[in-house]
Structure 1
Amino acid sequence: MELTGEKIIIRNFEESDFEVFSQLVQDQSNHETAGLEYSLNKNNSRDIFNKYLVLANTYVIALKSSHKMLGIIELNERGVSDGLDKTREIGFVISSDQRNHGYASEAIKLMLSHSFNTLHLTEVWASVKTTNPVPQALLSKLGFKYIYQVSQDPLHLESEDKMLKYYLLKNENGGVNE
C-alpha cells in the first residue's frame, strides 16, 4: 500500500528501514508512551523488525522527498465478530527527532481517508495513555471523541501510567475529506 500526502507517504516496510526502526525500538519513551516494543539488543530488534516486515495493517510513515522512515502507523483489527469487522484501532509513533512537524497529523488524516473511503469502515478507535497529552490533543483536533478510560492492568487500578483513554471517530458522512 502507498498513500501520498504533502510531506509524507505511508508505505509498506522495506529492508532499508531497519536502522530507523532499530532507533525507534531503542527509545524507551516510545515504549512507555506508544506501546512500541523496546529492545537495546540489535538481534532482538532485528527479530521484531522481521515481524513488522510481514505484519498486516502496519506501515511506515516516510518523508515524501526521500522515502526515509520517520515513524510507524497501524490500523489494527478490533475483532472479527459482527459489528467489529468494520472497525479498526489506529496507532502511531514518530521518531523523537521528527516530532512537531505535522507528520503524525498528516499520516492520521491519510489513514482515516483510506479507512473510511477505501475500506468503508464505520469506526476508527485510538487508545492513549492518560500520561501522554500530546496525542490526546491531536486526536481531539482531528475529530476523535473521548469515550472512556480503562486500566491496562486490573491489579493496579490506581496506577496512572497503566490507564488508557479511548477515543472514537465515527464515519458519519460516508467518508472523510482530505
Structure 2
Amino acid sequence: MKMNIANDEIEIRNFIEADFNTFYQLTSDKESHQTAGLEYEPNENKSKNIFDKYLVLANSYAVALKSSHQMLGIIELNERGVSNGLDKTREVGFIIAPVFRHKGYATQALKLILNYGFKTLALTEIWASVKTNNAVPQTLLTKLGFRYIYQVSQDPLHLESQENMLKYYLLKNEDGTD
C-alpha cells in the first residue's frame, strides 16, 4: 500500500533506496538494537539485504523530513491478528536515528500514525510494546494517552530477566468511530 501522510515538518512514507544510509546507521547501532529491538547488523551487505525487505514490507514506513525527504527513522503499524476483532487493532513500533532524537520527531510521527490508524483505518485500539529499560518511549506513549496494561518476558526460558521484559501500552479509539 502506498503511504504518504505528513504534517508541516515530517512525512511518513514508503521506503526508498535513498533511505539506506540512515537505515544502516540504525541497524549497525547496538544501542538501537538493545533499547528498541531493531535488527542488529553491523555488516553493510547483510544490512542491505534486510533493507531490501523493508522496501516491500507492508506496514513498515520511513519517517522523514518533509522538506528534504531525509529519513529520520522507522515507524510500523503491524497487524495483531484477524480473528475475534483483532482485525481492528494494530501494534505501533518506532525508532528514530540517534542524530535526530530529542527533537520531537517521534512525537510527531506517532501523532500522524495514530490519527491515520483511528481515522483512516477505523481501528478500535493501538498497542505498543517497549523494553522495560527504555524509559523515553514509555514517557512519550503515556503523554500521548497510552495506558500501561501489562509486562511480559520475550524469553520463556528466562522469565525473570529484565533484559527480555516488555511493557505493553494501549490506546483506545475514544471517538466512537469503530
1:82-104 deviation per Cα after TM superposition (whole angstroms, max 9, x unaligned): 21000000000000010000000
Within-5 A mapping of 1:19-168 = 19-168=21-170
- The answer on whether the counterparts of 1:79 and 1:85 sit within 8 Å (CA) in structure 2 is yes
Quote the offset at 1:174 in angstroms: 3.2
The 2-side partners of 1:171 and 1:40 are apart by 39
The 2-side partners of 1:126 and 1:144 are apart by 8
Quote the offset at 1:6 in angstroms: 2.4
Q: TM-score, normalised by structure 1?
A: 0.96
The 2-side partners of 1:136 and 1:20 are apart by 24
- The answer on whether the counterparts of 1:22 and 1:46 sit within 8 Å (CA) in structure 2 is yes
Percentage identity across paired residues of the two chains: 67
Which sections of structure 2, spanning at least 5 residues, go unmatched? none
Which sections of structure 1, spanning at least 5 residues, go unmatched? none
**Pairs aligned (count):** 175
Q: TM-score, normalised by structure 2?
A: 0.96
- The answer on whether the counterparts of 1:89 and 1:124 sit within 8 Å (CA) in structure 2 is yes
Quote the offset at 1:65 in angstroms: 1.4
Q: Deviating runs (4+, > 6 A) in structure 1?
A: none
Please name the residue that 1:5 is paired with: 7
Any idea what SS the aligned residue of 2:64 has?
strand
Supply the AA of the counterpart residue of 2:104.
G
The 1-side partners of 2:155 and 2:85 are apart by 26
The 2-side partners of 1:121 and 1:73 are apart by 17
